[in-house]
Amino acid sequence: MYEIDPTRTDLIKAFDENPNGPHGHELTLLLNRLRLGPFEERFIPVCTKPGHEWKVGRMPTERGRPIEFIDGAVFDNPDDATRKVFRLRWQAATGRDLS
């Protein structure tokens, strides 16, 4: 499995500049690793008002349970929500806060 190097701030910058890709090889490996985190740490962007509002939620650990939304994580565009998800996944995987 891909080992995350928390000092690779170049990958964070590359993601911030283009959250929807296409991504280089190293960034793709990082994103795939972040997407495979434990269920308790699976954050996702959720469109709550089509074309107007996106929130960040946490996937439920049990099938059929509702998504738990993160307080204060409300955005007016999908890219900002995606960047927030990246930061939450990064923190969960590395223990380092990117705020």
Whether residue 41 has pLDDT greater than 80 = no
Q: Cα–Cα distance between 65 and 26 in angstroms, integer?
A: 34
* Single pTM value for the model: 0.90
pLDDT tier at 39, thresholds 50, 70, 90:
low
Q: 6 preceded by cis ω (within 30°)?
A: no
Whether residue 68 has pLDDT greater than 90 = yes
- For the chain, the first-to-last Cα distance in angstroms comes to 26
Q: What is the mean pLDDT of residues 44-53?
A: 96
**Percentage with pLDDT > 90 across the chain:** 77
Q: Could you give the 3-state DSSP secondary structure of residue 76?
A: coil
DSSP states along 4-41:
P-TT-HHHHHHHHH-TTS---HHHHHHHHHHHTS-GGG
Whether residue 18 has pLDDT greater than 70 = yes
